[in-house]
Every structure is written in structure tokens, then in C-alpha cells.
Amino acid sequence: MGLVGIPAPPLFARRVLAVAWPVGAAALTGLAAPVIVAGAFHSFVDKRARLFRVSCLGVGLVWVDVRVLMECWRLSLKHPHGDSPTWEQDHEAVFLGALNRAMILAKRWAGFEVVLDGRMHFGTEGAPLIAFARHAGPGDSLALAWLLGHTAGRMPKIVLAEALRWDPTVDTLLTRMRSYFVPSRSGAGDDRVQGVRALAAGLDSDDVLLLFPEGQNFSPDRRRVLISRLRAAGQELRARHAISLWNTLPPKTRGVVASLEARPDADVMIVGHAGFGRLSSPGEIWAAIPFTDRPFLVQTRTYAAADVPDEPAAIEAWINDEWSAIDDWVTTVEGQS
């Protein structure tokens, strides 16, 4: 089913989670302490020290998350009505700080490092940017948001599954930053594209809309299931396109079209990445830790607004071609056929 099929928690549960989470984090830390000690001793057997690394990283990320929630509480106490002229900017600073701390922890404990393949063009100064990114492997969403925020100097506005509201920090912070939580499939009558359109329309000149057109993380199993579904639905052309892609899922085009129609003045960045896409199960991720010999390699292509198609059919053909190019690049980099 994936995250897209999980509904958001009810409002009452969201409020309870926000209060209970710091207490829960303290309890988790207490439970993790003997695991960390055991992992330290086990590193004499496992030279990659995976148990020690993962447990330390997990505790560190939990407290990054809690710290962000407490920063949100501090801002709420300072401005109970959210009427500060710098309300959104204050939360954006909290977000960027949290991303930086998370990436430092990921590099220290898991050897996770972002490496650029070629020059990264940030788009036209004074114009918003829309980024369509491949979705695959552990941590790609955080890594790409960090890259756009710290390297490109663009504030990410993210489209993400509403199931992530079960994390009270994500729920609180990203709601205040005007991100869009896509309703689950169970949300009857929801126009899941309308929110994407509204988010794109509200972009400031230094923002970037980060959208993952595949809708879910790539895995070989998801690829096979999607091909079967497309064939069963009689969508033979889309099925053939999916068959031609070995490392990506075919992009869902409604959100792409909606965002480009809402902001025809926006430049567009296509973001591909390689190195982690085949790590789709806990066992595969565990075996690869630490990632010191496996950089998170990112390649981008940026198009001026005038060079991007503006008709729905042309946009669909264009994004499909871009995804085929990403797929070919990943195959070349990872040596897969």
C-alpha cells in the first residue's frame, strides 16, 4: 500500500502525539541505551559496526526531531496567534537547521554523503523554481531538500504524503511552512492535484517546489506491480514506458502539469540521483551500512521557463522523456542493464 494509502491521524490524535512525543523520545532513548552498548561490543565481530552505527544514528535523529518540535513550541509561545511578520521565515530557519544536523549525523554514523555529478544550475535569479525529482532509496527526500536549501539557496516547499502527519514534528513544522500533504486514496472527493496547484501558485521568488512525480519510492517489486496494473487497466502505452524503465517508476503527470500550469514563469529542475535506488528493503540497507563507498550521487538539469512545454500533452511527453534520461543515467552510473 505504501504511505499514500495511509490516512492522516484525526485532529485529536495529532494534538496528543505532539504532547506525548518528547516523553516517547526519552523512553526510546532509554530502551536504545543497552542496544548501543551491545552494538559497541558487537563491533568487535562486525567490523562495519552496523548495530552501533544504526542505534546511535536513530537516537540522534529522534532528538533532532524533538528539538524541532520544541522550537515550534517556542515560536508559538512567542507569537500565540502566528501573527509575527517573520513567522514563516522563522520556521524555515528551524527547518534548514534541522536538515543540516540530520545530514551531519547521517555522514558521521552511516557515511551518507551527497556528491554532485556536474554543475548545479539554480535557476534564474528572482524567479521561482520547480524541481521534479527521482524517488528511490533511504533518505532521498531529506537529502534533496537539504541540497536545495543549502546549496541552491532555495527554500523547499514540499509535496508529501499525509501519512507523515503521524510524526508531530513534520505535521507542525511543514504545515506552518505551507507544504502540501497529499490526501490518502481513502479521502473521498479530495482533489489531490488542487493542493499542488495552490502550492505552486504561492511560490515566492526564492522558493523551490520539490515534487516526486513517481509518487512512491522505487523498488523492483513496485515496478512489477505497476506494470501489471497498467496492463490490466488497458494502458498499454504507459505499461510499455514502465517496462523500458529499469531504475525508476513512470512519472504521474497530473501534478507535474498542474504545477507548471500554475506557475508558467517558473524555471524547472530535473533531479536524478544514483547509488541508493536499489536499497529498497531493510536487509539491503543494513548490508550496505556504512555507505562510505556509495555516495549519494546527484545530477540536475535546469530549464528556463521559456524552454518548458506549456500544453498538457507536451508536458506529459517531456517529463516522460526526462525520466527516461534519468533512468539511462542511473543505469550507466550503477552499471545495471
What is the spatial distance between Cα 259 and Cα 309, in angstroms, rounded to a whole number? 12
Parse the chain into domains and list their residue ranges. 3-334
Which pLDDT score is estimated for 337? 40
- State yes or no: pLDDT of 75 exceeds 80: yes
Mean pLDDT computed over 62-66: 97
Which pLDDT score is estimated for 4? 63
Which pLDDT score is estimated for 59? 97
Which pLDDT score is estimated for 189? 46
- State yes or no: pLDDT of 204 exceeds 80: yes
pLDDT tens digits for range 132-165 = 999 999 999 999 999 999 888 889 998 888 889 9
Mean pLDDT computed over 89-105: 96
- State yes or no: pLDDT of 184 exceeds 80: no
**Alpha-carbon Rg of the chain, whole angstroms?**
20
Which pLDDT score is estimated for 326? 97
Mean pLDDT computed over 275-283: 90
pTM: 0.91
What is the spatial distance between Cα 45 and Cα 39, in angstroms, rounded to a whole number? 10
Burial tier of 235 (Cβ tally within 10 Å: 0-12, 13-18, 19+): middle
User: Are the beta carbons of 100 and 214 closer than 8 angstroms?
Assistant: no
Which pLDDT score is estimated for 1? 47
Which pLDDT score is estimated for 73? 96
Confidence of residue 5 (pLDDT cuts 50, 70, 90): low
